[in-house]
Structure 1
Amino acid sequence: MPRIQFGRRYIRLKWPIQMRIDVKNLTVTAILAGAILVLALYGLMAGTMQLSLKDLWQVFSGEAAKMTSTIVINWRLPRIIAAVVFGAGLAVSGAVFQSLTRNPLGSPDIVGFTSGSYTGALIVILISKSASFLGIAAGALIGGFTTAILIYLLAFRKGTQGFRLIIVGIAVSTILSSLNSMLLLRSKAEVALTAAAWGVGSLNGISWDQATPAMLIVVVLLIFAAVMNRPLREMELGGDAAKSHGIRIEPTQLVLILIAVVLTAAPTAVMGPVSFVALAAPQIVFRLTKSAQSFAPAAAMGALLLLGADIVAQRIISGTILPVGVVTLSLGGCYLVWVLFRQARSAM
């Protein structure tokens, strides 16, 4: 006799905490984690100086030559770890916004928070004539926060509706893009080139000193996002259902928006604005798992996308290392057209 399926399969844990784990989400996350590990190993071995698995083992066991250890530990490893952590942060940020707005186009780069971070960094670079990493990072963080607060206040009217948040965000993003162009045109050529290069989004030359503070922030906020996952899923059932379960809608939305903004602003402060990872990763995972109950698959997909895009950026033209934002922008543009095409067909 055929077995009757009563829904999705779960694994119940009783220790160290009681929880249910979706088997399909766990499987997809495990496969993505394996792919990330393979890409990370390839990223550590490939380059001008080709290495083998034996060489990597010697590096991490402390038996390798000093030059080999420097290349792996100080040059290649921070770039790979940053791509994984920042990709996960961007993907979870996109998943939060898409859930709050209930729209596949609800992501930080579409809504405008990424443009706000870029504006803050531009003001530091062009007006204060500062090219220091800390100054640019602080400008990007302040710009992202200011934009988020502005969009939230403009979209708030007896509550925050997802569609209104997207429309206001697109409008603010357009204004900020025009402001960014004006700032670039009115600046000196060499300063404008520096600002434009940062604005593409790149992991080139990233170091532990630059990446570690932002990575720690992203990891901590990923934990907070996991804690806020249940209230977010309750709100997806509707305002009345969420309130009946004891969820305070507006404070919860505000906390989730702040978490998502920082998950976008922290990576942007280090590598510049990288588009479409936050947009594409949650949607790809949703099509694989048919569920949005967990952030883990989205985080793994975001890490895989950014790491893969960075490796492609390093190998796409022999002898040239492109900014990772060039690759994500090219692939993401195609994905955005596909999403709009699907929405147009479903509306017919």
Structure 2
Amino acid sequence: MKTQRAHRVLRTPGGFSVRVDVRAVTVVVLLLVAAFAASVVLIGTGDFEMSSGDVLTTLFGGGNAMQEFVVNQLRLPRVLVGLLVGAALGLGGALFQAISRNPLGSPDVLGLGQGATAGALTVIVLMSGDATEVTVGALVGGLATGLAIYVLAWKRGVHGYRLVLVGIGVSAIVTAVNGYLLTKADLVDASRAVVWMTGSLNGRGWDQVWPLLVLCAVLVPPVLAGGRGLRMMEMGDDVSYALGVRVERLRMLLLVAAVLLVATATAAAGPVSFVALTAPQLARRLTRTPGPNLVPSMCMGAALLVTADWASQRLFGSDQLPVGVVTGVLGGVYLLWLLVTERKAGRI
């Protein structure tokens, strides 16, 4: 027997009504609480240990000079970058999976991370650029890769499996280019490139926070506004057209937004693996709600990344790992499980 889902209908003064899924809202609230709690613990982690109470007191302006410096100048920017990068990757992954109608339609699989890496390596190896130039190169590389995938996958529209297959091919090509660039680099540049390629929040500051914050403020509202059309598109293009959705226009706009989100997140923290793949799937399993689950995916991505960053600092003794190593291990295990599940279901 199927259980009936709990919903609430909210009515506005203008006569509009909105149906709210109680379980989905509860999951979002719990994920936000988890992300906040993990952030507070992460801020207190390090050589200068601080309790959660001291962290909260300092955040609200009640700490001493040393605590304010450590929290506001050293650790808070890093945590904010982690939250914003995780949210951007979670939302970007949800968009790609919804547009491709495939749980493997992730930026990690499609090659956007590899494209951003190629842009960064080009700046490091060929131009010996500084950190700002590397960030710009990663952003340009990600956008160029996204454009190439869209153009190559276009044939009277962009459809799911064609997008995934083209993305896998582009990813293989760009990965080969990255390997070639590493072989051309001298020892210093190669070491610097390898560190960047692991994905890390080390050394991140306010210079990375503001571009991410502005991008999310600009892109998230229109993306969420397109969520209703995106949910209709999952029923097929013909049905969506019949319901009044401009399918190709909406698909192109959402793809551009997804590419911008993923490329900017990669430029800020390096190619942090598998957050964009796992966050939407975990969010959907928690909410048990069909559709793209955009807001839960954002919250899940943020919570996952700050938790993984805490784990990278605390669970391996004195050997602190880049956060990309932790997400890569966890995401790789999840990807294997997902492939086995999809195969048993007969979808691959």
TM-score normalised per structure 1: 0.94
1:32-79 deviation digits (Å, cap 9, x = unpaired): 111112111211222222212442344234342222111111111111
Change (3 A) 1:344 1:54: closer
Instruction: Name the CA distance, whole Å, in 2 between partners of 1:164 and 1:39.
Output: 39
1:242-295 deviation digits (Å, cap 9, x = unpaired): 111221111111101000001101111111001100000111111111214441
2:90 is matched with 91
1:135 is matched with 133
1:175-208 deviation digits (Å, cap 9, x = unpaired): 1001101100111011011011101100001111
Instruction: Name the CA distance, whole Å, in 1 between partners of 2:266 and 2:71.
Output: 24
2:54 is matched with 55
**1:96 touches 1:256 (CA, 8 Å); kept in 2?**
yes
2:191 is matched with 193
Instruction: Name the CA distance, whole Å, in 2 between partners of 1:52 and 1:321.
Output: 20
Paired residues for 1:5-44 under 5 Å: 7-14=5-12, 18-44=17-43
Q: Quick one: which amino acid aligns to residue 106 of structure 2? A: S
**1:112 touches 1:147 (CA, 8 Å); kept in 2?**
yes
Instruction: Name the CA distance, whole Å, in 1 between partners of 2:128 and 2:56.
Output: 44
Paired residues for 1:243-254 under 5 Å: 243-254=241-252
Change (3 A) 1:31 1:61: closer
**1:275 touches 1:332 (CA, 8 Å); kept in 2?**
yes
**2:59 touches 2:71 (CA, 8 Å); kept in 1?**
no
**1:86 touches 1:215 (CA, 8 Å); kept in 2?**
no
Instruction: Name the CA distance, whole Å, in 2 between partners of 1:129 and 1:232.
Output: 42
Moved more, 105-114 or 218-227: 218-227
Change (3 A) 1:57 1:159: closer
Instruction: Name the CA distance, whole Å, in 1 between partners of 2:52 and 2:339.
Output: 43
Shift of 1:319: 2.3
**3-state secondary structure, aligned to 2:19:** strand
**3-state secondary structure, aligned to 1:247:** coil
| Consecutive aligned runs of 4 or more in structure 1 exceeding 4 Å deviation | 4-8, 15-18
**3-state secondary structure, aligned to 2:345:** helix
2:279 is matched with 281
Q: Quick one: which amino acid aligns to residue 174 of structure 1? A: A
TM-score normalised per structure 2: 0.94
Mark the runs of 5 or more structure 2 residues left unpaired by the alignment: none
% same residue: 38
**3-state secondary structure, aligned to 1:274:** coil
Q: Quick one: which amino acid aligns to residue 93 of structure 2? A: G
**1:133 touches 1:210 (CA, 8 Å); kept in 2?**
no
Q: Quick one: which amino acid aligns to residue 95 of structure 2? A: V
**2:41 touches 2:52 (CA, 8 Å); kept in 1?**
no
**2:90 touches 2:276 (CA, 8 Å); kept in 1?**
yes
Instruction: Name the CA distance, whole Å, in 2 between partners of 1:162 and 1:237.
Output: 12
1:269 is matched with 267
Moved more, 257-266 or 62-71: 62-71
**3-state secondary structure, aligned to 2:272:** coil
Change (3 A) 1:163 1:49: same
Change (3 A) 1:308 1:15: farther
Shift of 1:5: 5.9
2:230 is matched with 232
**3-state secondary structure, aligned to 1:166:** helix
Shift of 1:19: 2.6
Q: Quick one: which amino acid aligns to residue 211 of structure 1? A: V
1:306 is matched with 305
Moved more, 115-124 or 293-302: 293-302
**3-state secondary structure, aligned to 1:104:** coil
Moved more, 219-228 or 133-142: 219-228
> Pick from 143, 146, 158: which aligns with 1:145?
143
Instruction: Name the CA distance, whole Å, in 1 between partners of 2:48 and 2:138.
Output: 34
Q: Quick one: which amino acid aligns to residue 76 of structure 1? A: R
Q: Quick one: which amino acid aligns to residue 79 of structure 1? A: R
2:63 is matched with 64
Shift of 1:85: 1.5
Instruction: Name the CA distance, whole Å, in 2 between partners of 1:141 and 1:62.
Output: 35
Change (3 A) 1:324 1:13: farther
**3-state secondary structure, aligned to 1:205:** coil
1:154 is matched with 152
RMSD after superposition: 1.9
Change (3 A) 1:71 1:334: same
